[in-house]
Amino acid sequence: MSDQIAGRDVPVPHEQVLAYLRTVPSTADSSSDIQVLRARTRAEALAVRGELEPVASIQTLDVGGVPARLYRPHGDETDVLIWIHGGGWIHGDLDCYEGVARALANRGNCAVLAIDYRLAPEHPFPAGFDDAWTAVQWAKANFANVAVAGDSSGGNLAAAVALSARDRGVELALQLLVYPVLDNTAATAYKQLFRERYSNFAGHAGFGVIADERIHHLWDLYVPDVADREMASVSPPRAESFRDLAPAVIITAEHDILRGEVEEYARRLEADGVPVAAYEYIGQIHGFFQMLGVMADAEDAIDKAAAALRHAFAVSTESDATAPTPRT
């Protein structure tokens, strides 16, 4: 467990986080109408995604039955990143992550395939995982080198398909995991400390409790059968081994209830010989990666991710062994 959660008496958010939190409700959405929730979270995401970077082309595709958009920064790219959006497996769409997809394409000098996978509760596990794997198969058939990436629940799907790729002999250049949710029983002591320490974070009463309860609710919607949560395709840390997985770039936020399980996953990957580059953003919260319009750290995180993509694709093209990247 990271000792940083107990490192300060009062958690200190970044000034841009404080400004952002003043604009959002201090309590959890109590609506039981999934369409209302999706509309609200979509509006919130569009408000913070920032100016959209121009790209050479955007294609609307049907990727083996999965709706997708293919972003090309130049037009002749032979490498592709599959972007799997977050949203707790229940909301989020291609528009919400348009800024991220365009930025990663331009700065990573690669095509980006953003997928509109099926959402729970209408389509619980394995629908989202199956769609992500279908995208991997399509990408491998159409591009020389393939990487996978996602944030939050999308990070869960990216980690899961990276394991599946290893098991099926499909080579991936990189897995980019942005504060992924990984295991519903992971880091329970960390989460309990988070509930207590973040009881009034940035003036939001019950911040820690609400975060914990929301995660449990999302797991119930995505994987209703508790027994299925033992599977590595649901909970990647349950895999027997992580050897021979694609190199990983892992991005975390200091004030995120998921940080404990993500840090533990990074340590386990490294212990099994997987090259890992880990970046923690001090003062930041879950969700910052897509907030290009309001968070300078989002720009920096995408720049780091893009640099890793360029390196990973270059290594894959040259067929050289990948050396571990120093942790920062």
> Is residue 319 annotated as a catalytic residue, yes or no?
no
pLDDT, mean over the chain: 93
CB atoms inside a 10 Å sphere around CB 311:
18
Q: Encode pLDDT of 166-176 as tens digits.
A: 999 999 999 99
In this predicted structure, the answer to whether residue 262 has a pLDDT above a threshold of 90 is yes
In this predicted structure, the answer to whether residue 45 has a pLDDT above a threshold of 80 is yes
In this predicted structure, the answer to whether residue 189 has a pLDDT above a threshold of 70 is yes
Q: Which residue has the higher pLDDT, 307 or 320?
A: 307
* pLDDT value of residue 8: 53
How far is 173 from 101, CA to CA, in rounded Å?
18
pLDDT grade for 319, boundaries at 50, 70 and 90: low
For helices 207-222 and 188-197, the axis angle rounded to 10 degrees is 140
Q: Does 325 reside within a domain?
A: no
Give me the residue label for tokens 């299925």.
228
Q: Which residue has the higher pLDDT, 26 or 183?
A: 183
Q: Does 327 reside within a domain?
A: no
Find, among 212, 204, 152, the residue nearest to 187 by Cα.
Answer: 212
* pLDDT value of residue 328: 38
> Is residue 256 annotated as a catalytic residue, yes or no?
yes
Catalytic residue among 85, 131, 152, 316: 152
Q: Does 324 reside within a domain?
A: no
Q: Encode pLDDT of 89-130 as tens digits.
A: 999 999 999 999 999 999 999 999 999 999 999 999 999 999
Length of the chain in terms of residues written: 328
Q: Which residue has the higher pLDDT, 8 or 270?
A: 270
In this predicted structure, the answer to whether residue 287 has a pLDDT above a threshold of 90 is yes
Q: By percentage, how much of the chain surpasses pLDDT 90?
A: 88
Domain span at 286: 3-315
Strand pairing report for 111-115 and 79-84: parallel
Q: Does 97 reside within a domain?
A: yes
How far is 237 from 230, CA to CA, in rounded Å?
9
> 74 vs 97, 105, 113, 249, CA distance in Å?
20, 9, 14, 25
Q: Does 321 reside within a domain?
A: no
Catalytic residue among 130, 212, 256, 297: 256
Q: Which residue has the higher pLDDT, 325 or 306?
A: 306
> Is residue 216 annotated as a catalytic residue, yes or no?
no
Kindly report the CATH number assigned to the domain that includes residue 170.
3.40.50.1820
When pLDDT is averaged across residues 14-41 and rounded to a whole number, the result is 86
Q: Does 258 reside within a domain?
A: yes
Q: Which residue has the higher pLDDT, 312 or 320?
A: 312
pLDDT grade for 55, boundaries at 50, 70 and 90: very high
Q: Does 82 reside within a domain?
A: yes
pLDDT grade for 144, boundaries at 50, 70 and 90: very high
Q: How many domains does the chain have?
A: 1
State the amino acid at position 138 in one-letter form: W
pLDDT grade for 318, boundaries at 50, 70 and 90: confident
Q: Encode pLDDT of 226-247 as tens digits.
A: 999 999 999 999 999 999 999 9
How far is 291 from 308, CA to CA, in rounded Å?
20
In this predicted structure, the answer to whether residue 201 has a pLDDT above a threshold of 70 is yes
* pLDDT value of residue 211: 95
State the amino acid at position 313 in one-letter form: F
201 within 8 A of 207, measured Cβ to Cβ: yes
285 within 8 A of 211, measured Cβ to Cβ: no
* pLDDT value of residue 27: 61
* pLDDT value of residue 95: 98
In this predicted structure, the answer to whether residue 84 has a pLDDT above a threshold of 50 is yes
Q: Does 8 reside within a domain?
A: yes
* pLDDT value of residue 322: 44
